[in-house]
């Protein structure tokens, strides 16, 4: 019971970290040009930072996400087995 709780919490924590990372990257990208910059350049910068952050997150957290998907698949497989 406790193992499942820890594993589920770990899965939710990783997802939360990924979303927060993307939000922070977009905000930092928007603020990168400063207050006097053109709004179009701010939006382009925010999108660029968002894309780079998504690629870095995929590189860093990709293995963990794949392992969590395998874990979910195995859990569903075991639950479908007749007793």
Domain ranges of the chain: 2-80
pTM: 0.72
Instruction: Report in angstroms the alpha-carbon separations of 78 from 11, 37, 62, 71.
Output: 19, 56, 24, 11
In the Cβ-directed half-sphere of 49, how many Cα atoms lie within 13 Å? 19
- Could you tell me the pLDDT band of residue 68, with boundaries at 50, 70 and 90? confident
Which of the pair, 54 or 64, is modelled with greater confidence? 54
Residue with tokens 């179009």: 40
Q: If you compute the radius of gyration of the chain from its CA atoms, what whole number of angstroms results? A: 19
End-to-end CA distance of the chain, in Å? 20
């Amino acid at each position: 019971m406790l193992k499942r709780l820890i594993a589920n919490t770990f899965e939710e924590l990783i997802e939360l970290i990924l979303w927060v990372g993307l939000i922070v990257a977009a905000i930092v990208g928007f603020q990168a040009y400063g207050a006097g910059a053109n709004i179009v350049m701010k939006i382009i910068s925010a999108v660029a930072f968002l894309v780079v952050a998504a690629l870095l997150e995929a590189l860093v957290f990709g293995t963990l996400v794949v392992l969590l998907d395998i874990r979910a698949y195995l859990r569903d497989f075991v639950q479908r087995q007749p007793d």
